[in-house]
Amino acid sequence: MAITDKQIADIEKYDKKVNMKLANALYRRLAGALARPDARLVAFGDAKEVARVRNGFIKKTLEVSDRKKADAALEAVATMMKKDRSKSRLTAYYLLAQELRKANKVT
């Protein structure tokens, strides 16, 4: 399977010039989670979910150990996506990688 036009369109709501290398790399990394309806979305209002994203994706994948920097990026992305009722995990992770300037850690 490959990234869909719908997933790309979701990312384009926030980044008009989608980094397709990053989007495809994240899609491959998240394919298992994206297949499960309960894991397809991110809940920024859930402290456990935010901790999971911070400790899993940001700390381990993006290699950002500075908690303040991670929290600032999480807050920025949560604010960006605030109007979107269904926050796609793929889009959120894409935006976090871009916000932290760590796309190279994923691609």
Q: Give the pLDDT of residue 38.
A: 85
The string of pLDDT tens digits covering residues 69-88 is: 999 999 999 999 999 989 99
Tell me the whole-structure pTM to 2 decimals. Answer: 0.94
Instruction: Print burial letters for 55-70: b (CB count within 10 Å at least 16), e (below 16).
Output: eebbeebbebeeeeeb
> What residue segments make up the domains of the chain, in order of their start?
5-105
The string of pLDDT tens digits covering residues 44-67 is: 999 999 999 999 999 999 999 999
What are the CA-CA distances from residue 28 to residues 1, 23, 69, 70, 82 (Å)?
A: 9, 9, 26, 23, 26
CATH fold of 5-105: Recoverin; domain 1 (1.10.238)
